[in-house]
Structure 1
């Protein structure tokens, strides 16, 4: 799938990790209707994200699978879901949560339950959906394509953006029908690639 094939209108655009970068870019380019499940978490392992999707989010944020790691700021505690290898460093606030007790767990779980319901509802009713994932290999992307094909009846596309030692935007040929793979410079992916993201998302809109 080519970058040009991504152009057009979508009923929803979702970030599938691996960090907050995609959500920030979608927000800055006015392509973010609402919060997604993986917008503000760390999800370094796409195989685990694929498992999460295949499992329909079963046991996601199960308290038996959560490990409290450390304070990451005066306001936030880092909590890790060890089943799906997902880190929450913006959700568990220090006014209600400590290294020994997640007093705000109920609120966090309720928030993510709402996002899961909205995500699955969009998958079942959306006309055309775009998923964006940073950092993935071809095998993981192929598995993601296969899983989403079983969950979505309408059209969808997957954009994979890997950050490597390239000096410009590079399209890769992965020969996957629903996947467009791109490489961007890794030197300063948080601040130096905004013009590439605008180029990538040019012609993409929301219904």
Structure 2
């Protein structure tokens, strides 16, 4: 699938990690009306994300699965979700939590439960969804699409973006149905590719609920 084949309208657009970059770019390009479960988390091991989706998020962010690793900043803790190897550094504020006690856990868990419920509802009811994943191999993507085939009732597209020592947008032409794989420059990938992301999203629109 080529990048041009992604153009069109979607009922939902979701980031599947690996960092916050897809969510940031979706927000900058005004196609992110609500947060997804993985938007602001570090989920660098794609097989764990695939397992998370296959399990319909069962056990995700349970209190027994959370481990405070360190301080992410002077305001937030860096917390590992040990069941799926996902990391949070935007949820647990230092002034609210006193490890090993995570006093803010009930509200954090409720927030993720809402996001997960919407994610699964969109997968079940939408006619067309776009998923975006940064950093994935061809084999990992095959495993991910097998799970998405079972999870998504309607149709979907998967945009895979790998950062590499390239110039501009390089299409990879992976032999996978529903998958568009491209490469972007790996220099200053957080905001150095802002214009390229805008180019990627041209012609992609989000239908209003």
* TM-score, shorter chain, exceeding 0.5: yes
Task: List alignment gaps of at least 5 residues for structure 2.
Answer: none
What SS is found at the alignment partner of 2:191?
coil
The residue aligned with 2:37 is 37
CA RMSD of aligned residues (A): 0.8
Query: 1:17-166 alignment to 2 at 5 Å?
Result: 17-166=17-166
For residues 98-118 of structure 1, give each alpha carbon's deviation from its aligned partner in whole angstroms, at most 9, with x where no partner exists: 232111111110100000000
Distance 1:120 1:114 in 2: 10
Shift of 1:86: 0.4
- What number of residue pairs does the alignment pair up? 207
Distance 1:100 1:55 in 2: 27
Distance 1:191 1:79 in 2: 25
Shift of 1:69: 0.6
TM-score normalized by the length of structure 1: 0.98
Distance 2:132 2:126 in 1: 16
Distance 2:152 2:20 in 1: 24
Distance 1:152 1:165 in 2: 34
Structure 1: which 4+ aligned runs deviate by more than 3 Å? none
The residue aligned with 1:9 is 9
Shift of 1:124: 0.7
* Contact 1:163-1:186 within 8 A present in 2 as well: yes
* Contact 1:130-1:157 within 8 A present in 2 as well: yes
Distance 1:64 1:194 in 2: 38
